[in-house]
Structure 1
């Protein structure tokens, strides 16, 4: 064996050992660095988390408050894609068209008054906020009459008795009287309403089985309701073979009370109106406005009362909102949750939406006693507790209803009309009048088939409009349904994941009365 070779080989091995050790350390360092780079670099399969976005909502009614509620409910929590939510309200109270008045010490609903038992968003709001429900006072025990301007063409018996037996007898007789006058058309009307309600229930399906809609047309077509907005209620009811007498009298009375309009309204709005005359109707004890106040209080909202937005401008990456108070706000997302028909917000850039008029309902509240002579009757006890009217331009009101009986000759009433009821007319209708309050509501759209709808997305970016759905039907519940869709639309277009459950809802709400005062 060559020693030198052996020695040389041994020396080479001694030289290689520190080199290998160094190389191993360098390789380990390279692997470590690449691992850090890999972990810190977002891959195409992982979701990109954006910075929290500021949302500005104009309007504190059920639409605006519901948008805030659903944004918080559905948005991701770590980190949340929705940051600050501002709500701007031009009045000094929340609730929008949900409002109460105080008449001689009693509080009554002045705006949106009743809810249907299948208004499931409202039902959930009440449970979530621990509010108290009261049943509608105008139940089966209240007497009802149809006034044609000269006489009552139909009247029910007063079943408001202390004895349950007599109540049942009177209720049974009233059913016979109703059937004798309108026949099987009553069942056809009920089937028509139930069909529309069943289709509307599609909007409560789980998020997995319910799309996010970018237009009202798409939303209505998916539920099978769109065709009802293309024809009048009268056309729809004639097709299902309702009797002309039922349409002319009872159906007309209902649409005049609920929407201040005749059977020429669109079919879906008419079906919603008829559904609002059924049983099981309810309201929130103390005022329906508490739903809006409670949702705002539990949605971590920055509320701006007495601040009217004068202009909304898109400035590239954000919206600038300027108020009549001289304040300026920046928002990533802006939601208009109030009808654009009678407010003066300047939009830059401008956009076009279908022209729409609001139907004004004049609500007159009177403490006093009706004059039987006005109705060509000899006794005030012969006047029904709810007086509905047929379509006749000579009749100066659409309905008169008893809100509360204080004593035999002292009651509180609510009058709905299309025009202001002057004092001279009130003095003819009432023999005694001790208190009067008048409210002029831009209550709902003037419906005209076929309906045309403004888009949910007004500018193709992030300016949203909740009230575009009102051209289909205007209720507290339809506003909540539209608001829920807009909230999901915002999140889906912001690449956020929409949750499908409400398991994280709080179980109670703080006191909301500091957000509200009577009209």
Structure 2
């Protein structure tokens, strides 16, 4: 049976109001839910596998069954995330929110699913509407624990020699940074902390129920026009302006961005700041695999999941209100249903989107932008330490290797990866032993390149995908509102592509839909929010 419990986000429904009054707004649908039959058992689309320590996290879709017209709908792409930072560890939600850093999705997980959101919020026993919008999901479902860390040092390789090497001594690492780059690393840290301090305002705004109808308004509320400008100028230009040296940008900043976004220091400053914040090593992994976060949250919502591929959305009207017909293909053939709200989370770009919008005026077209191709090669073999200047493999000390932006280098980064379950007796393989290495590159490695990196190897597993936006100098950002109650989530990737940004954008869309439905316009696109939230009780 269809329940009246909303599935906006884990943590809903909010506590019902004890007041007998309701908000003014559109008249909710009165169609009965008694004829809608769905499976009450939640499930997760498991389109990815964990192997050789390559932790992947399928994004859950919250899907009650079609046929319940009083529910809204969201279209989601079942994607896989490989969060990580330049130190080589797999990233995960930390104490402040989702990890910062690049989001990487695999091509075999491109199937879309139909996800439903409620358009009629349940009334309290007194007949009133909920008094508060959604408060968001807990960071980790119960029962999950942090995976034990396995120590490993990092270095930056120029193609001929290591330009920067990490040691076991913290003070020596600081001295080396100062000796090579002066106080550039301090200027970088101050710049990143300033950006992140302003970015963290979004959590306070959302806790008070505020939402934004465009990415520009969201950024302006956090950091003013300076944040807007950070999407239009490069991270290199911004760092040079605050006193970071060109050498530090060429060696360190370029290496971090090549390992995260697979791009150069010409990426926008805001995306670069998010990537650099994730490179500071404050992240951690979940024991058993980071995918347990998503499956645990999905189970917590008690949502119904329906695997289906959406083929199109057409606009209709009923009693003067927009009604959206969603066409899809599932295991039982083709079907369609009508919904009051739709949230599209798959990228609306020619290379990634294959469903259509019909009867919309003006027409909704794909956005003319591209995604950055990326290749991950998981190699089980013996590292060729001589290529990195260590003839004796026993003396090779590094578990993670980043690279500078050198034309002759054919890979962006590589690291010695560990299983998702680490026992107390587990130890990292010695340099002279066969180990599992993950190599990131922009093109598949040929046999000669593999022989350059490895003396010999047992197996190679290669995955190619379009992982994150190809950042350029485009001045405009995609919209959030495509139509009255048709919302677009993935446009935030063009501000910065990370799990934290997607989580923030998802809650913003939920709050925006809630506030628009109940005509609470004072909670949308408000100015001077810092002053407002300080004065609110």
- Give the equivalent residue in structure 1 for 2:164: 154
- Give the equivalent residue in structure 1 for 2:29: 51
RMSD: 3.5
CA–CA separation in structure 1 for the residues paired with 2:228 and 2:23 = 38
Q: What is the 5 A alignment of 1:302-381?
A: 302-305=304-307, 307-316=308-317, 317-325=322-330, 326-341=334-349, 342-348=352-358, 349=360, 350-352=363-365, 354-380=367-393, 381=395
Unmatched tracts of structure 1, length 5 or more:
1-41, 72-80, 101-110, 160-169, 501-519
CA–CA separation in structure 1 for the residues paired with 2:25 and 2:389 = 74
CA–CA separation in structure 2 for the residues paired with 1:263 and 1:308 = 37
Instruction: Note closer, same or farther for the CA distance 1:82–1:370 as it changes in structure 2 (3 Å cut).
Output: farther
SS at match of 1:205: helix
TM-score (norm 1): 0.71
Contact 2:75 2:343 in 1 (8 A): no
SS at match of 1:293: helix
Q: Does 1:493 align with 2:495?
A: no
Structure having the larger proportion of residues in helix: 1
Contact 2:71 2:340 in 1 (8 A): no
Q: Does 1:189 align with 2:188?
A: yes
- Give the equivalent residue in structure 1 for 2:455: 431
Cα deviation, 1:80-123, whole Å, max 9, x if unaligned, reads x9954666667xxx5x13269xxxxxxxxxx9942464542679
SS at match of 1:146: strand
Unmatched tracts of structure 2, length 5 or more:
1-19, 34-43, 47-56, 100-135, 419-427, 524-537
- Give the equivalent residue in structure 1 for 2:231: 229
Which one of the candidate residues 370, 384, 401 is aligned to 1:387? 401
Q: Which moved more, 1:435-444 or 1:250-259?
A: 435-444
Instruction: Note closer, same or farther for the CA distance 1:129–1:421 as it changes in structure 2 (3 Å cut).
Output: farther
Deviation at 1:193, TM superposition (A): 0.5
Contact 1:203 1:210 in 2 (8 A): no
CA–CA separation in structure 1 for the residues paired with 2:459 and 2:221 = 49
SS at match of 1:133: coil
CA–CA separation in structure 2 for the residues paired with 1:409 and 1:131 = 32
SS at match of 1:282: coil
CA–CA separation in structure 1 for the residues paired with 2:249 and 2:385 = 28
Instruction: Note closer, same or farther for the CA distance 1:361–1:113 as it changes in structure 2 (3 Å cut).
Output: farther
Q: How many corresponding residue pairs?
A: 413
Cα deviation, 1:137-186, whole Å, max 9, x if unaligned, reads 5xxx52222211222222233x3xxxxxxxxxx33222211221111111
Larger Cα-atom Rg: 1
Cα deviation, 1:384-417, whole Å, max 9, x if unaligned, reads 2211111122211000111133455121111111
Contact 2:58 2:80 in 1 (8 A): no
- Give the equivalent residue in structure 2 for 1:295: 297
Deviation at 1:46, TM superposition (A): 6.3
Q: Which moved more, 1:377-386 or 1:189-198?
A: 377-386
Contact 2:58 2:291 in 1 (8 A): no
Q: Does 1:134 align with 2:147?
A: yes
